[in-house]
Structure 1
């Protein structure tokens, strides 16, 4: 119990460590400058094409290589494989870090602080393994093993921080996963058509579930209102035309979704918004979410 409390307090101190913002801000500016240069590449780093953040999957390559290297370090007659594994880990850590920084640049400040320490710990681990590789090439096996274990320890801490980011702080997870479980099945009454403004986003509620409603003449589109990225209020966003489709852009981090079906048009969001079926009965808007309940 004491260990758990100590770890929780340590994480809270990292989350509230405003001093880390002095490092985050210039780094954030640099990352956004790079990611802004190529939206298509940035969406790829976020994982938009596959509908899931790619950073967690990409880190399996360097982490697996480093763990295997440190394990084989203590297995007889496997020493020749260790340098290859370490070199593989170093090489694959570069694209994994690129994806991680792309995601990191679109998080809340508390998440960015933990993410910064997460990146620093992993970077330290890679540096230790690089030093271990150099020691091996110079014929210093004992130093090489010690440096490898130091790298493994640093990467282990980085992994814990990554888990905290995802499971405690909700970075990278789908923030609208619960919507189908909260919406009653079948058709549900929402509001009178006359209550809806023309041509701009409006907020309505279906029980406890906020809805984004956009009325354009006889066309009415309804999406779940909270952005799947970090729960930003889409009804406070802006409408635009992208490749002939009307879209809404989240005011928090710029994720863009097609009104017609909730599809992600631009990240950092990777999960589409829930799109509701719509009908009008006696002047009132009714909606239905497929697979609700």
Structure 2
């Protein structure tokens, strides 16, 4: 396995930035905003689709290694390899769509992660071909090498997820940071009409939008990678008012912070509002 220092060097190295930039742009252009992109991001699941699919493939191939070591039924090994290849295909599609919407440092590690996983995919495809033609020994050898490449890819994927926080929910977890009850935020007269601004409540930055006498309040840090929502665009999506994150285009419903389009998969925490008689805007976390 590569050490942390080696992985940090990948994160800092600009050597692959040109192909990364070209590939990421091509992916975003080819798979634009819409249902397919949202499905690949995992928006309907509420979490990224790529990790569970990748783990399933890795588990199937690890089981293949156990059968190969024990010289069990070769047909069972063939089935496991083929099943791993079948689940790897949508995992690759979901992974590259997620990767195209990451920060550059994350994309650098993800680029090497993808190379390792595609190498593993090619080795397992070759292994299956040899197994089907009766050359089990060569097939087993390619599987073992493929498992090694997949393990390196898995390590880098873990670094992406846990060290670089790719795919994690970056929206403020307000329930444990805001005490129960209503809290004074600002004078409603100080808020511009129709233009979102940011206001601070304790430790939390809030997205605040006043339209006439109605005020909408969400956590300001985008759930995808913490982009500032108050700098985003206001749009209408099928008649529903939404805000689009300025960094990677995640779209949230203003009424409750629900995800309309990815790459974000977690909703924005939302707040209930009321205005006191003296014009002070009060907020509290929306009740589930």
Q: How does 1:161-240 map to 2 (within 5 A)?
A: 161-176=156-171, 178-240=173-235
> Structure 2: 5+ residue runs without aligned partners?
none
Which residue in 1 is equivalent to 2:274?
279
Change (3 A) 1:225 1:77: closer
Give the whole-Å Cα distance in 1 for the aligned partners of 2:71 and 2:249: 53
Give the whole-Å Cα distance in 2 for the aligned partners of 1:67 and 1:8: 24
> Structure 1: 5+ residue runs without aligned partners?
none
Give the whole-Å Cα distance in 1 for the aligned partners of 2:25 and 2:285: 40
- The equivalent position to 1:33 in structure 2, one of 29, 52, 59, is 29
The TM-score with structure 1 as length reference comes to 0.94
Deviation for aligned residue 1:291 = 6.2
The TM-score with structure 2 as length reference comes to 0.95
- Tell me the SS of whatever aligns to 2:192: coil
Does structure 2 retain, via aligned residues, the 8 Å contact 1:185–1:291? no
* Paired positions, count: 287
Does structure 2 retain, via aligned residues, the 8 Å contact 1:35–1:42? yes
Give the whole-Å Cα distance in 1 for the aligned partners of 2:136 and 2:29: 42
Deviation for aligned residue 1:153 = 0.5
Give the whole-Å Cα distance in 2 for the aligned partners of 1:57 and 1:98: 13
Which residue in 1 is equivalent to 2:77?
82
Which shifted more, 47-56 or 197-206? 47-56
Give the whole-Å Cα distance in 2 for the aligned partners of 1:277 and 1:265: 20
Give the whole-Å Cα distance in 2 for the aligned partners of 1:76 and 1:92: 24
